[in-house]
Amino acid sequence: MFASQLLTLAIFIESQHCAHCHSIGLTGTSPHPDTPLFRTLSRRYPIEGLAEALAEGLSVGNPEMPEFVFEADDVRAILADLKSIQESSSSRANQKNKKANPTPPRHRARVN
């Protein structure tokens, strides 16, 4: 799969399964209280570290979050997307969007 397809897939999955609790974008707050923003997950651990959890059952030990199991392609997609939105100085998306685009149209901007 091409990178742009991966990100399209990730955004589809995340908007279906994650976005009603987590903020999945470059800006915005999580709809569900105490739910980590996707763009800050790498403050806790490397994004790669989520690969196994996503493939074998992501359960965060919090009863409010359902357990998910994803196919390999879906895992690659979600990881690629999470990496691209992290708020670190090395994040491509961050550098690109910081000045030009204070509001999120990240989803629309990504899908060509």
Give me the residues that bind ligand HEC (CB under 6 A), please.
17-18, 20-22, 32, 34-36, 41, 44, 50, 58, 60, 62, 64-66, 68, 78
Question: Whole-angstrom Cα distance, residue 31 to residue 62?
Answer: 16
Q: How far apart are CB 100 and ligand HEC at their closest, in Å? A: 27
User: Which residue in the block uniquely carries the two structure tokens 């609790």?
Assistant: 21
Whichever of 55 and 109 has its CB closer to ligand HEC, that residue is 55
Structure tokens at 106: 């990240």
Residues 6+ apart with CB under 8 A from 96: none
Whichever of 23 and 97 has its CB closer to ligand HEC, that residue is 23
